[in-house]
Amino acid sequence: MFITQKLASQTVAQVLAGKNLTEALNAVWRNNPDLESGQRGAIQDISYGTLRQLGLVEGVLKQLLRSPLHEAELKSLLLISIYQLQFSRAAPHTIVDHAVKVAAQTGSGFGKGLVNGVLRSFLRGKDELVRRAQANEVGQYSHPAWWIKTMKAAYPEQWQDILNANNQHPPMTLRVNPQHTTVNDYLNLLSTSNIDAVVLDDSAICLKRPTSVDSLPHFFDGWVSVQDWGAQAAAKLLDLQDGQSVLDACAAPGGKTGHILETAKVTLTALDNDAMRLKRVEDNLKRLNKSATLLLGDASEPNTWWNGQQFDRILADVPCSATGVTRRHPDIKWLRRNEDLANFARQQAKMLDALWPLVAPNGKLLYATCSVFPIENAASAEAFALRHPDAKRLDLPVQALPHGQSIDGQLLPTAEHDGFYYALFVKTPHEI
């Protein structure tokens, strides 16, 4: 446990200093290649769990300190240890003992005594300490105050459910490739592999417990892909038909790209501005035995890559705050700032305006984000329609949506899917 606590503490410290959690963990894996799979899993679980519950554990730690703790290593060590003591099944004395050993290596003269005293004080009074921390909304919901305030204003009836959903483990959902099998037949294959799952609709299966893709029957033959149920709506909403030309803007990592090609025989162009991420699209298509034209370019600057041929369908899965997938990336809660939202909205507007001329007459553009903030979603869609009189917004077909419903295109996170937003536009002649 010593090495897992040490490396989890370092990971959380990096995130609190502003580093992306995925990048922080990748650095740990690179620097510690001899870690066993169980150790890697424990480090990841502790890091993710601490960041999911950071508002609570910080609220507890604040009560246990006489003054603010400025040593980042010690602070993150205390945070992950409090998280473990409150939420894990590990023996408390083991957690404390190993935390003290980690503290001895930080170089702080008072680290061992501080960590030992704080953690033992927590164990003596943890019920009351947790109760006091949860008396504050940041402690109760483990989200920044500005985020909670925005959710209350945007979703007065659902805000608590949204915040609570963000703190849960995400579901693992599969998209079944209809060119190979059906959901019911694949469900039987899962059953023979002792993998419990339930059917969500005619293409989606949710596993009751996450598992390695190596365990999924015929995964590497392209029979299924891992894709959130909410994300699977994108290809369905595009109203794809054989023979169409389709642009998947901001295509990486390629989940929606593959789904488009499974849905209809189209000529597909997959665009992304990151060469390494575009390679992931290529790898995903190879697994599915599908092909597309892969382009490296910025969707907001078509003049650098567009050949002048308009598209029948465009999927504009634009950059956003990613606040709808917070439970998969809990660092988002603590790295995002309120002012980031307006910046994303401006970037999205620029991209939409640049892509709209590429839509053929009577063609459709699907605006998509994995955000729950209205400034990036409903407000952006409404502003786009006002800027482009030939952009008529269409109602979303209910059969394409999880549970057959949304709030004006907004999917809020539930136990079965993440948060997404969709707005569908058709290009019509200018009204006179």
Positions marked active-site: 370
Pairing of strands 311-317, 245-249: parallel
- Number of residues written out for the chain: 432
- Residue 170 is given by DSSP the state P
Q: What angle do CA 318, 13, 273 make, to 5 degrees?
A: 25
Q: Are 372 and 324 in contact (CB under 8 A)?
A: yes
Tally of CB atoms within 10 A around 115:
23
Bond before 33 cis per omega within 30 degrees: no
Q: Burial code of 252-275, b = ≥16 C-beta within 10 A, e = fewer?
A: bbbbbbbbbbbbbebebbbbbbee
Nearest alpha carbon to residue 418 among 252, 227, 237, 202: 227
- Residue 201 is given by DSSP the state S
Structure tokens at 2: 């010593």
Q: If DSSP codes are grouped into helix, strand and coil, which group holds residue 273?
A: coil
Distance between CA atoms of residues 286 and 282, nearest Å:
6
Q: Burial code of 67-101, b = ≥16 C-beta within 10 A, e = fewer?
A: eebebbbbbbbbbbbbbbbbbeebebeebbebbbe
